[in-house]
Amino acid sequence: MSSNVIEARGLSKRYGSTVAVDDVSLTVERGRVFGTLGPNGSGKSTTVRMLLGLIRPNAGEVRLFDAPLRDHGHRLLRRVGAVVETPAFIPYLSGRDNLRLLVRYMPGPSESAISDTLDRVHLIDAADRRFKNYSLGMKQRLGIAAAMLHNPELIILDEPTNGLDPQGTREVRQLIPELAAEGRTVMLCSHLLHEVEQVCDAVAIFQRGRVIAQGATAELIGHRSQLEIRTADLTDAITLLGQSPWAARVARNDGYIRIDGAGDDGEAVNRWLAMHGLYASVLRPVSQGLEEVFFELTGEESHD
């Protein structure tokens, strides 16, 4: 049995002459929190819809739990919970009654399971209030409760913190790794770099319908670690390093010298400087965050 919960190969989706997704492949391992990251229009949400069978790809294949979605969709999707866009419920029913209605059409969870799920997403105190009187954040959390209700093995969340206040956002971010720790797999679709870095242990970065990077979050960040250097004479040090094996990656940055991708080369750089009569007063590796990696990979600029 494969350890992969999701395997997508060569997915493409066109709308007329517009290519929304272009040859996307994804692998999501069991028990991981996997993030799909990219701006609006990058193809990540269309990819999620293909993974859920909501739209059909023009090319490629989706396998869930080691079986083709095309042939076993009904059986496979019973093992999946999802929140896609803004959750929709019956306005005049309470949060609890909306979940009861779901159970009527998909039997399984008990009344106590409904209460437990509402408590899990911090809605138990508002469970008997009408859905139409919920805030946007409360509606979002009820959607997550509905996705969790049937105890799925795979949970797919599309922008789950949308509309949440800081407290609600923190609660959802704490909940996601808890679900993975229970043995579930969670796929998070987000445009929030900080959110993905906080909760996802693997990530795929989308740009213009394609996946431009994919892997463990720590590895994507670590591969681009920098070496930060300070010497008595930065100008001489930059000139000297311009003649070194790291020449193409040297830049001056706010009183320091930084060498991209040289986080593990500290000893060699220090030796090079000392051989030429320069000595570092500071020499340390600096890991980039996911935000820096994202903008480096996409060639876009941060607007923070």
Task: Select the more confidently predicted residue: 280 or 156.
Answer: 156
Asked if residue 106 belongs to a domain, the reply is yes
What is the chain written as a DSSP string?
Answer: --SEEEEEEEEEEEETTEEEEEEEEEEEETT-EEEEE--TTSSHHHHHHHHTTSS--SEEEEEETTEEHHHHHHHHHTTEEEE-SS----TTSBHHHHHHHHHHHS----HHHHHHHHHHTT-GGGTTSBGGGS-HHHHHHHHHHHHHTT--SEEEEESTTTT--HHHHHHHHHHHHHHHHTT-EEEEEES-HHHHHHH-SEEEEEETTEEEEEEEHHHHHHTT-EEEEEES-HHHHHHHHTTSTTGGGEEEETTEEEEET-TT-HHHHHHHHHHTT--EEEEEEEPPPHHHHHHHHH------
Is the pLDDT score of 76 beyond 60?
Answer: yes
pLDDT number for residue 304: 40
| Average pLDDT rounded to a whole number, residues 289-293 | 68
Asked if residue 296 belongs to a domain, the reply is no
In this structure, the answer to whether residues 188 and 232 fall within a common structural domain is no
| Average pLDDT rounded to a whole number, residues 220-235 | 75
In this structure, the answer to whether residues 37 and 175 fall within a common structural domain is yes
| Average pLDDT rounded to a whole number, residues 219-228 | 70
Asked if residue 303 belongs to a domain, the reply is no
pLDDT number for residue 303: 43
Is the pLDDT score of 223 beyond 60?
Answer: no
Is the pLDDT score of 9 beyond 70?
Answer: yes
pLDDT digits (tens, 9 = 90+) for 246-255: 777 787 877 8
CB atoms within 10 A of CB 209: 23
| Average pLDDT rounded to a whole number, residues 100-118 | 89
For residue 94, the domain's CATH number is 3.40.50.300
Is the pLDDT score of 282 beyond 90?
Answer: no
Q: How many domains does the chain have?
A: 2
Q: How far apart are CA 155 and CA 294, in angstroms?
A: 25
In this structure, the answer to whether residues 164 and 249 fall within a common structural domain is no
In this structure, the answer to whether residues 277 and 173 fall within a common structural domain is no
Is the pLDDT score of 138 beyond 90?
Answer: no
As given in the structure block, the two tokens for residue 20 are: 């929304």
Is the pLDDT score of 182 beyond 90?
Answer: no
Asked if residue 8 belongs to a domain, the reply is yes
pLDDT number for residue 236: 84
In this structure, the answer to whether residues 271 and 181 fall within a common structural domain is no
Asked if residue 105 belongs to a domain, the reply is yes
Contact predicate 266/227, CB 8 Å:
yes
Domain span at residue 234? 225-287
- The model's pTM is 0.76
pLDDT number for residue 178: 84
Task: Select the more confidently predicted residue: 170 or 61.
Answer: 61
In this structure, the answer to whether residues 34 and 102 fall within a common structural domain is yes
| Average pLDDT rounded to a whole number, residues 9-27 | 94
Domain boundary among 197, 221, 245: 221
Q: How far apart are CA 58 and CA 254, in angstroms?
A: 50
pLDDT band at 115 (very low <50, low <70, confident <90, very high): very high
| Average pLDDT rounded to a whole number, residues 186-193 | 86
